[in-house]
């Protein structure tokens, strides 16, 4: 299936296939699994500005942890965390801003404050109105395949558990349904980005299998976003804490690009910018 080559986002054009784009993660939560959360507006804004200077093409702002077993926050609290950060970053950087949320009102206020991408980790399963919001505002929508509703969680081990006969088939089926919901709500095909959901309702072995077979997602005909940064698959292989997983992240980023990723979502922007540039030189010849 052919990939529509351009997605317009704010004042930027994403020309898929020409290079890898990088999404820098700006957490405004005190309980991020990665240990980089900022429960302070100025610190989060400073981090976002630094990421833009270091080469992030997109800044993804989130106000609720998505780690396995996370504690939900209220809609009001999430808005309090993210909207001031988005307002300030919109005024201080040119990088397109993404709101990482599953809540309609949070996304609505974030878009009003300057966010130009909606990143839904549930792929419209829990809040289909996010597609209507994306269509109304003509902003790109990231749809992630999240299997936590059919998988499980091992609280003692602190990780997702799941059993599938074919994990890629499950991911593709999930994404097809999400894309159908988005298109029925009026989201143009060129505004849809897909994410296989590394670490969301899959075991770490299944996460590795998804990276290995990422090229299969090309059947969807949409740009592919991959988020492996500091995640538990790296912990399980290297037995390292989150703040020591930069090399493991680099390996997963490079292989993901080689296997078809168009966007990588990362915590370590400066280092991963170099990984993307080197990998693109090999894979894309640029």
Q: Which residues have C-beta within 8 Å of that of residue 240, sequence separation ≥ 6?
A: 234, 248
Q: Which residues are catalytic?
A: 231, 265
Say which CATH architecture domain 17-281 belongs to: Alpha-Beta Barrel (3.20)
Residue numbers in the chain where pLDDT is lower than 50: 1-2, 33-35
- Asked if residues 64 and 101 have their Cβ atoms less than 8 Å apart, the reply is yes
pLDDT tens for 8-58 read 998 899 999 999 999 999 999 875 544 455 568 999 999 999 999 999 999
pLDDT for the residue numbered 168? 95
Q: What are the backbone angles phi and psi of residue 33, rounded to the nearest 5°?
A: -60, -30
DSSP states of 198-229: TTSSS-HHHHHHHHHTGGGGGGG-S-BEE--T
* Global pTM value: 0.91
**Widest CA span in the chain:** 48
pLDDT for the residue numbered 69? 58
pLDDT for the residue numbered 47? 96
- Asked if residues 242 and 255 have their Cβ atoms less than 8 Å apart, the reply is no
pLDDT for the residue numbered 38? 59
C-alpha closest to that of 129 among 73, 187, 84: 187
C-alpha closest to that of 198 among 246, 253, 242: 253
């Amino acid at each position: 299936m052919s990939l529509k080559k351009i997605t317009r986002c704010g004042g930027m054009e994403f020309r898929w296939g020409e290079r890898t784009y990088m999404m820098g993660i700006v957490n405004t939560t005190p309980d991020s699994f990665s240990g980089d959360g900022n429960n302070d507006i100025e610190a989060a804004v400073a981090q976002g500005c630094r990421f833009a200077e270091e080469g992030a093409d997109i800044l993804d702002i989130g106000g609720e942890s998505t780690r396995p077993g996370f504690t939900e926050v209220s809609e009001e609290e999430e808005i309090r965390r993210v909207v001031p950060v988005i307002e300030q970053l919109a005024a201080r950087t040119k990088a397109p801003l993404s709101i990482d949320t599953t809540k309609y009102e949070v996304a609505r206020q974030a878009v009003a404050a300057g966010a130009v991408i909606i990143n839904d980790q549930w792929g419209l399963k829990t809040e289909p109105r996010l597609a209507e919001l994306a269509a109304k505002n003509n902003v790109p929508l990231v749809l992630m395949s999240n299997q936590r509703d059919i998988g499980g969680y091992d609280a003692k081990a602190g990780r997702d558990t799941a059993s599938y006969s074919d994990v890629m088939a499950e991911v593709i089926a999930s994404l097809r349904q999400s894309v159908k919901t988005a298109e029925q709500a009026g989201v143009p095909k060129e505004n849809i980005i897909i994410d296989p959901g590394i670490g969301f309702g899959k075991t770490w072995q299944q996460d590795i299998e998804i990276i290995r077979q990422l090229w299969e997602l090309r059947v969807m005909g949409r740009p592919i976003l991959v988020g492996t940064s500091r995640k538990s698959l790296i912990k399980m292989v290297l037995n390292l804490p989150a703040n020591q997983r930069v090399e493991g992240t680099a390996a997963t980023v490079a292989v993901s690009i080689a296997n078809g990723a168009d966007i990588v979502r990362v915590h370590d922007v400066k280092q991963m910018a170099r990984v993307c540039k080197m990998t693109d030189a090999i894979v894309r010849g640029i």
